[in-house]
Amino acid sequence: MRRLSYAVLAILVIVMMLAACAPATPQVVEKVVKETVVVKETVPVKETVVVKEVVTPTPVPPPIKQGGPVFIGTGGMTGKHFNPIWLTSNPQFLAFPLILPALTWFDDKVQPIPHLATSIDVNKDATEYIFHLPENAKWSDGTPLTADDVVFTYHLALHPVVGQAVWANNFSSVKGATEYQKGEADKIEGIQAVDAHTVRFELKQPNAAFLFNTYLGILPKHILGDVKPEELEKHPYVDAPTVTSGPYDFVEFVPEQYIHLKKKADYWGTPATLDEVYIKLFESTATTLAQLEAGEIDVALIPPEELERFEGLPHIEVAKVKGIGYYVTHFDFRNEEQIAQLNKPKEQGGKGYNITKTPKPYLQDKRFRQALAYAIDTNAVIQVVAGGEATPIYSSIFGPDWAVNPNLNKYDQDLDKAKELMTAVGVTFDDKGTALWEGKPITLVYLSNTSEEARKLGEVLQQQLGKVGIRLDIKLVTSSAFLSAAINGEGDLIRNAGGRFGADPSVSSLYYTCKAGWAELVIGFCNPRFDELMNQGVATSDIKERQKIYWEASAILNEELPSLFFYTPNVFFGINKGLKGLKPSADPGYLTWNITEWYFEK
């Protein structure tokens, strides 16, 4: 018992000693409570979220560019080959003057100026044009560029096997050109090399507008001279012109993506400042604009409805130019005989196509085409498609001012008049107002590329033609497939835009004379009196006489309506503020006309 008592006593002593060494219990509780309160007051959840928002990086606007390659945004390429002979679309117009200059090109007002030629002599009656070439001009492989290259190029472009309609029409006034193009002569009488640096063109009749036609890029005879014309399209140079004469060398053409050019190291002429040029091809306007906004391209066209968006961007300057192009839809009213002729083999005088379209007889009657013009509200088209930034036109002859016929039918929207004309043609209407031909509903096809404005136009026409009982289907194809689709008859209303119609009335001959590309291959329009007038118009330089001639020609187009004429648009370019020296052209295709003056401001 005594041992147990001593043990209990010892334990009590130890407990008392530990209690004496520790803080008092009330003090511990008080301190903990105070610390807890402080923590709750200084770590509010809401303030923590605010701190996170403040430190999150904000988007940095694209920079004002100071150097590097220039990136030009444009639409798709419709040309069959990347070669001046097949020159049809903006990417080619932008690229070829940089690598394969023509005798003449076009300035910002779309007036012809010497390009490869250093000077041009014209006689008084405009039947002889003499082009002088630079004596130091050479190809990128060191071979001298001479008058023989010019003569060779023009013969190749007009060869009956190669046979591009635009050049046949452009040079129809040259002595012997028509006979050569038909295979009736071995050479073109009116194109001669006077000496190594002089070329003379002799015309069979006066042509005061001939310099508007000499924009054919010159090709190297020493590369293609031994190639048989029938084998030309198989030659690699046709799509990869690696031997060039302009301030830039060809690097690469990737279809539906880009064209890449690089500054020549030892250019014989005025050198460029920019080291590299990329011409980027876009099927979608939205994609083009997104890349311009993001700073991925440096210059591109801006649709009017996007002006406010780009005028507010710190790195973009918007330039406005009065346009000279037109905005239309061509009719396809080719008849069976015309289609059969196009389908004939080339050796039988045809084009070798395989067009299977069944013609629509009512389209061949101008009254039906006029009815469609009355059914459409052009002002609404301008507002929806051009954002109001355009001027209505009533034929393809709308400039210069002296050439504008004030007496043309404006075809103000009149649905009753439209139905009256349709009825006169033989169209009937059912109880629901559907237009019928031989008891079947009339359906037309609108054909275009895939751009946003093209889609908008299709939708406007679809809605408006529906008011006179016509169904309009919309077919959008890639730019590369567009021309083939048009020629093959896949559309009845075929959208077309651009050109330089406002620069000179003679330009309309390239589209609406009987053997012009669009008229013969797609529209089916041929009016001998119109052809006669267009020949007369270029045979004189007297403005009063030209005015009389072109007013009559304009009246023919206004009545026959090979196309629905909508408007000529203002042109807007978005340009990176670091890119200087541009003088934007009234025709977007000639934007690069002064590219040797472009530079990035550092």
pLDDT at site 575: 98
State yes or no: pLDDT of 21 exceeds 80.
Answer: no
Say whether pTM exceeds 0.75: no
Least confident of 68-72, 260-264, 468-472, 583-587: 583-587
Q: How far is CA 78 from CA 83, 91, 210, 314, 477, in A?
A: 12, 9, 26, 34, 11
* 144 is a domain residue: yes
The verdict on 395 and 503 lying in the same domain is yes
Q: What is the mean pLDDT of residues 465-472?
A: 98
Task: Give the structural domain span for 256.
Answer: 62-100+246-322+571-602
The half-sphere exposure of 40 on its side-chain side, counting CA atoms within 13 A, is: 6
pLDDT digits (tens, 9 = 90+) for 118-139: 999 999 889 999 999 999 999 9
Give the ranges where 57-204 is alpha helix by DSSP (H): 90-99, 147-158, 165-170, 177-181
Please check whether residue 40 lies inside any domain of the structure. no
- What's the confidence (pLDDT) of residue 4? 36
Count the domains in the chain: 3
Residues 430, 352 share a domain: yes
Looking at the fold, whether 503 and 541 belong to one and the same domain comes out as yes
pLDDT at 373 over 80: yes
Comparing CA positions, the residue from 571, 569, 599 lying closest to residue 585 is 571
pLDDT for 2: 40
Q: Are residues 189 and 203 in the same domain?
A: yes
Residue 47 domain-assigned (yes or no): no
What value, to the nearest 5°, has the Cα angle with vertex 291 and ends 289 and 296? 145
User: What b-and-e string marks burial along 276-286, b requiring 16 or more CB atoms within 10 Å of the CB?
Assistant: ebbbbbbbebe
Q: What is the mean pLDDT of the chain?
A: 89
Query: With contact defined as beta carbons under 8 Å apart, do 71 and 274 qualify?
Result: no
Q: What pLDDT is attached to residue 48?
A: 43
- Whether residues 525 and 510 share a domain: the answer is yes
Among candidate residues 174, 194, 229, the one where a domain is terminated: 229
- pLDDT of 8 > 80? The answer is no
- 135-187 pLDDT, tens digit per residue, is 999 999 999 999 999 999 999 999 999 877 789 888 989 999 999 998 899 99
Q: Is residue 158 part of a domain?
A: yes
CATH code, 355: 3.10.105.10
The confidence score (pLDDT) of residue 14 equals 35
CATH of the domain at 595: 3.40.190.10
Average pLDDT over residues 309-321: 94
Q: Comparing 38 with 268, which gets the higher pLDDT?
A: 268
What is the C-alpha separation between 539 and 529, in angstroms, rounded? Answer: 15
CA distance 511 to 65: 40
Per-residue pLDDT tens digits for 206-238: 888 899 999 999 999 999 999 999 999 999 999
Query: Residue 231: its pLDDT value, please?
Result: 94
pLDDT (average), residues 349-357: 93
Same domain, 75 and 118: no
In a domain, residue 280? The reply is yes
Same domain, 391 and 525: yes
Residue 139 maps to which CATH number?
A: 3.90.76.10
pLDDT of residue 53: 47
DSSP structure string for 74-117? E-----SSSSGGG--SHHHHHHHHHHS-BSEEE-TT--EEESS-
Length of the chain: 602
User: Residue 369 falls within a domain, yes or no?
Assistant: yes
Residue 54 counted as domain residue = no
pLDDT of amino acid 142: 97
pLDDT level of residue 529 (50, 70, 90 thresholds):
very high
pLDDT value, residue 88: 87
| Tens-digit pLDDT profile for residues 471-514 | 999 999 998 899 999 999 999 999 999 888 999 999 999 899 99
User: Is 359 a member of any domain?
Assistant: yes
**Amino acid letter at 91?**
P
CA-based angle 123:126:128, to the nearest 5? 60
Of 229, 256, 277, which marks where a domain is finished? 229
Residues 369 and 458 in one domain: yes
Does one domain contain both 491 and 565? Answer: yes
316, 345: one domain: no
Distance CA 376, CA 378 (A): 6
With cut-offs at 50, 70 and 90, classify the pLDDT of residue 58: low
The CA distance from 174 to 180, in Å, is: 11
Is the confidence at residue 18, as pLDDT, over 50? no
Is there a single domain that holds both residue 286 and residue 413? no
Tell whether 376 and 518 lie within a shared domain. yes
pLDDT (0 to 100) of residue 57 = 57
